[in-house]
Amino acid sequence: MEQRIGFIGLGNMGNAILQGILASNIVSGTQMYVYDPHLEKGQVLNQVYSINNLDSAREVARESDIVFVAVKPNVIVDVLNDIQKELKKNTIVISIAAGVTIKTIAKCVGYEQKIIRVMPNTPALVNAAMCSITPNTEVTDEELSIVQQLLNCIGETEVVSEYLIDAVVGASGSSPAFVFMFIEALADGAVKGGLSRAQAYKFAAQAVMGSAKLLLESGKHPGELKDMVCSPAGTTIEGVHALEEKGFRSAIINAVEAAIKKSKEMAEG
Ligand SMILES: NC(=O)C1=CN([C@@H]2O[C@H](COP(=O)(O)OP(=O)(O)OC[C@H]3O[C@@H](n4cnc5c(N)ncnc54)[C@H](O)[C@@H]3O)[C@@H](O)[C@H]2O)C=CC1
Ligand SMILES: O=C(O)[C@@H]1CCC=N1
């Protein structure tokens, strides 16, 4: 890939996306331009890659064909206003901020700028992200495909309409936190049953990962896979009943709904 890729903000998500792209070798370190005020000059993550660690967001914008703006939602408007003059006509601006609409971004960088909203998640750190991609009308199919190729370096992608991003936040942006709580609780139960803490995390996390893999690879309905575990008068159906009594599914639907609501509120300002 020939494009020069910029990163403004290298925290959890910016760093994960950058590392994934570098590891894939579709772009070399010399094609990458980064700025984060909390990154020491010369420190750049993996010095072996020879990434260009610049002194300002503006410089990154000036050098890049595709620029990931990976800062928190409360600072993104200031950053976009700051870089606006440095963007070329064909520069693609990618925002991963929750609750910041294409309209808000366009107000800062111009309505004719190419803009893509991406909603990733932290499993990007282990190349197992789920990312939604939403381009504005200025982005061509070819450009969309290039960005999709970049994001496929860190996991899976789906193109969605903008109105669905709030639901994506609930389903995959925020949900890793819910899943970690679930794993922690599974392990607590197992520790209560006598397993060591370390083994309990391993058994619980592997069970969650394996279940997700089985669902994705078998294409079976989750209910059918649940039934496969429940022997008549067995152990699992006892646990299923205990979960139903406590409104397990309802609690999760409520959590997703709460995240969606907050995402919508953020977008409405
Ligand atoms: N953490 C998550 O699970 C997810 C986060 N997001 C979105 O990703 C964005 C970044 O989130 P995180 O990486 O978790 O946050 P973070 O706090 O880890 O990273 C933000 C980075 O931006 C840097 N920064 C602050 N002001 C800056 C500026 N003016 N110019 C350049 N860099 C600046 C900070 O030094 C920091 O390293 C947020 O907008 C969030 O909504 C989206 C999906 C999932
Ligand atoms: O909680 C947050 O703001 C971010 C957005 C999606 C996941 N985490």
| Binding site feature residues | 8-13, 70-73
Please count the other Cβ atoms lying within 10 Å of the Cβ belonging to residue 38.
Answer: 8
Q: Name the residue with the closest Cα to ligand 2, atom 6.
A: 173
Q: Please check the confidence at residue 48 and state whether its pLDDT lies above 80.
A: no
Compute, in angstroms, the gap from residue 76 CA to the centroid of ligand 1: 9
ipTM surpasses cut 0.85: yes
Task: Render pLDDT for 196-253 as a digit per residue (tens, 0 to 9).
Answer: 999 999 999 999 999 999 999 999 999 999 999 999 999 999 999 999 999 999 999 9
Instruction: Look at residue 39 in the predicted model and tell me its pLDDT.
Output: 81
Q: Which atom of ligand 2 lies at the shortest distance from residue 259's CA?
A: 1
Task: Render pLDDT for 100-111 as a digit per residue (tens, 0 to 9).
Answer: 999 999 999 999
Q: Phi then psi for 266, rounded to 5 degrees? A: -65, -40
Instruction: Look at residue 269 in the predicted model and tell me its pLDDT.
Output: 77
Compute, in angstroms, the gap from residue 95 CA to the centroid of ligand 2: 13
The closest alpha carbon to 5, from 150, 121, 118, belongs to 150
CA distance 48 to 117: 30
Residue with tokens 């590891």: 23
Tokens in use for 196? 């060591």
Compute, in angstroms, the gap from residue 190 CA to the centroid of ligand 1: 35
Tokens in use for 32? 């990458």
Where do the domains of the chain lie, and which CATH numbers do they carry? 5-165 (3.40.50.720), 173-268 (1.10.3730.10)
User: Residues with beta carbon inside 6 Å of ligand 1?
Assistant: 8-14, 35-38, 57, 70-73, 75, 79, 96-98, 119-122, 173
DSSP letters of 201-215? HHHHHHHHHHHHHHH
| Binding site feature residues for NADP(+) | 8-13, 70-73
User: Residues with beta carbon inside 6 Å of ligand 2?
Assistant: 98, 169, 173-174
Q: Name the residue with the closest Cα to ligand 1, atom 16.
A: 11
Q: What pTM, to 2 d.p., does this model score? A: 0.94
How much is the average pLDDT of 2-15? 95
Tokens in use for 51? 């990434």
